[in-house]
Amino acid sequence: MQPVTLYDTTLRDGTQGEHVTLSAEDKMSIARKLDEFGIPYIEGGWPGSNPKDARFFQMARKSPLRRARLAAFGSTRKPGGKAETDPNVAALLETGTEVVTVVGKSWDLHATEILGTTLDENLRMIRETVSYLKARDREVIYDAEHFFDGCLRNPDYAMKTVAAAVEGGADWIVLCDTNGGMMPHDLGDAVTQAAARIPVPFGIHVHNDCGMALANSLAAVRAGAAMVQGTVNGYGERCGNADLVSMLGVLQLKMGYDCVPPEKLEQLTDVSRFVSEVANVTPSNQRPFVGRSAFAHKGGIHVSAIMKNPAAYEHADPEQVGNRRRVLVSDLSGKSNIAYKSRELGISLGGNGFDSQKIVERIKEMEDQGYQFDAAEGSLELLMKKVTGQFEAPFTLESFRVTLEKDGDAPTSSHATIKISVEGEEEITAAEGDGPVNALDNALRKALYKFYPEIREMGLVDFKVRVIDAQAATAARVRVNIETRDAREIWSTIGVSENVIEASWQALADSVEYKLLKVRNGKKDVRNAQAG
């Protein structure tokens, strides 16, 4: 297969995205993950711009990457100065990286109006900076910023800036659609014309302001680009950069290019989610190849088809990229959804289809009331077991009381008292909380610790409340979704009621019941293994 070199700039360009912030330690963690995954070039940051990036490069010197080539990023020397005395250029060399990436202006508008210099001086800035760095044994990648906007306004000058970098000794020329405004057909034509005049390997760097970053990058590859720059999950300024995750899936699975070792491709989903976790950005379920919804099926006709042949509604095998097929259950579901889901969950259904029909009818009835089981698979599993008589309640609620107390300007305090029974033994406890639901959660856990110490492993991940019928104002029905996790998994549960506390209780009780169901099943598996 023909190779395409991937260049990751998550640690620099990606952090320019809104809500994306990485510490030096975070950046080191991501760099190691990308290194292990097989990304050839990893851009660490701009050492001349902030102390954090400088510290990252210090960390990288002490504990170098194993495979990837680490790049330091910076700009050409300033107008009227010299490369050897420019502080930014000096900062690039101080990182000790073998690779430096230098950005320069290829759009005459930027040279004259933004930098405030002449067109000839801009060419000298590019040529002299690249030459100075090459003389110090660095591999130099030249990013031709705003190249395509420059081609639209003054194509001859845009190519002169590229020629200046080549004359300086640049190892790579990277053509940049910095404003993200190009269309694939126009960009492809421009790359084809430029390729005939660039005597060194060249690459592409595009932004996603028109939603074309992936398409534009692929157009450039087809026109001869041998390097693709981008970020994991498409993080970046404004609408983001080209998403290297989708890029990898398309280039390697769809177009036959060699980007990472084939055995590493199965880690693609893990890499995407790892970077999301470190960056503290909620993963997009709709992200191609790696999102939770990428291979999720909801319509009954679709599910019936994939049970016969997954290729009927899937463009690729999810396991190739480390993802998995998911069948969702909702009011759009048929018996095929239930049959698939029951096998996945290990739930026994009657062979005549009666159980499946009962489950479908119950789900449709509850979703009409405001439940949404495709977003609450923990509650779905419990419902299926209850409808088929395969559920044994781990506890029974006798009663609970939640009180709020407001004293002058002091913060409102919340208290909950709960009475439960487990196999005939009653337990009454009380607890405080930051709010009524938190107080109820604390009281329930406190009551159950005696019987089920395993619930100490549980932790709340997310709590959402949504009004279903807003026309009813404060009397509206609400839907509460809770996400809970332990050391092994994350599960979602749901509750619906006109009373937000009641809806929260339903979701909370389901969350605890789901955990205890898994504990009970785990103990059964151990006993069966010992008996065997």
pLDDT of residue 353: 61
For the residues of 233-266, what is the DSSP string, one character each?
GG--STT-B-BHHHHHIIIIIIS--B-S-GGGGG
Of 380, 414, 436, the residue at which a domain comes to its end is 380
Tell which residue, 166, 75, 74, 175, has the closest CA to residue 115.
75
Residue 149 sits in the same domain as residue 76: yes
pLDDT at residue 321, as a whole number: 95
58 in a domain, yes or no?
Answer: yes
Query: What's the token pair of residue 287?
Result: 């992200």
**Predicted pLDDT of residue 352:** 59
pLDDT given at position 530: 45
* Per-residue 3-state assignment (H helix, E strand, C coil) for 6-67: EEECCCCCHHHCCCCCCCHHHHHHHHHHHHHHCCCEEEEECCCCCHHHHHHHHHHHHCCCCC
Q: Do residue 416 and residue 373 come from a single domain?
A: no
> Quick check: is 271 in a domain?
no
Residue 87 in tokens: 């502080």
Task: Give the other-Cβ count within 10 Å of 325's Cβ.
Answer: 17
The pLDDT value recorded for residue 17 is 92
| Cα distances (angstroms) measured from residue 403 to each of 74, 94, 242, 414, 445 | 59, 62, 51, 6, 18
Non-local CB neighbours of 220 within 8 Å, separated by 6+ positions: 175, 187, 188, 191, 203, 204, 206, 228
* Residue 290 forms part of a structural domain: no
CB–CB of 469/476 below 8 Å?
Answer: yes
Residue 386 forms part of a structural domain: no
- Is residue 117 domain-shared with residue 21, that is, in the same domain? yes
Structure tokens at 443: 């009281």
Measure CA 56 to chain center.
23
Is residue 484 classed as helix, strand or coil in its secondary structure?
strand
Is 130 a member of any domain?
A: yes
pLDDT of residue 369: 85
Same domain assignment for residues 138 and 211: yes
Q: Domain containing 470 — which CATH number?
A: 3.30.160.270
Identify whether residues 123 and 194 lie together within a single domain: yes
- Residue 316 included in any domain: yes
Tokens of 233: 């999950």
Asked which of 260, 285, 310 is the last residue of a domain, the reply is: 260
Show Cβ contacts of residue 400 under 8 Å, excluding neighbours closer than 6 positions: 416, 417, 418, 419, 440, 443, 505
User: Distance (Å, rounded) from C-alpha 460 to C-alpha 186?
Assistant: 49
Domain tally for the chain? Answer: 3
What is the DSSP-derived secondary structure letter of residue 412? Answer: P
Count of Cβ atoms closer than 10 Å to residue 362 Cβ: 14
Give the per-residue pLDDT at 528. Answer: 47
Is residue 24 located within the same domain as residue 162?
A: yes
Q: What is the pLDDT of residue 332?
A: 60
**Spans of the chain, pLDDT less than 50:** 525-532
**280 C-beta neighbours (distance < 10 Å), count:** 11
The residue among 332, 352, 380 that closes a domain is 380
Cα gap 193→188, rounded to integer Å: 9
Full residue range of the structural domain in which residue 504 is found: 396-531
Q: Do 196 and 314 reside in the same domain of the chain?
A: no
Q: 129: domain CATH number?
A: 3.20.20.70
Tokens describing residue 386: 């209850």
**One domain for residues 50 and 103:** yes
The Cα 45–Cα 24 span in angstroms is 10
Q: Is residue 282 a part of any domain in this protein? A: no
- Please indicate, yes or no, if residue 281 is contained in any of the structural domains: no
CB count in 10 Å sphere of residue 82: 12
Exposure pattern of 103-139 as b/e (b: 16+ CB <10 Å)?
bbbbbbebbeeebebeeeebbbbbbbbbbbbbeeebb
Same domain, 430 and 305: no
Tens digit of pLDDT for each residue in 321-369? 999 888 777 656 666 777 777 777 777 776 656 777 888 788 888 888 8
Check the CA dihedral 219-222-224-225 and report its sign.
Answer: positive
CB 378 within 8 A of CB 514: yes
User: In this structure, are 62 and 189 located in the same domain?
Assistant: yes
Q: For 60-126, what is the HEC assignment?
A: HHHCCCCCCEEEEEEECCCCCCCHHHCHHHHHHHHCCCCEEEEEEECCHHHHHHHCCCCHHHHHHHH
Same domain, 248 and 146: yes
One domain, residues 314 and 422: no
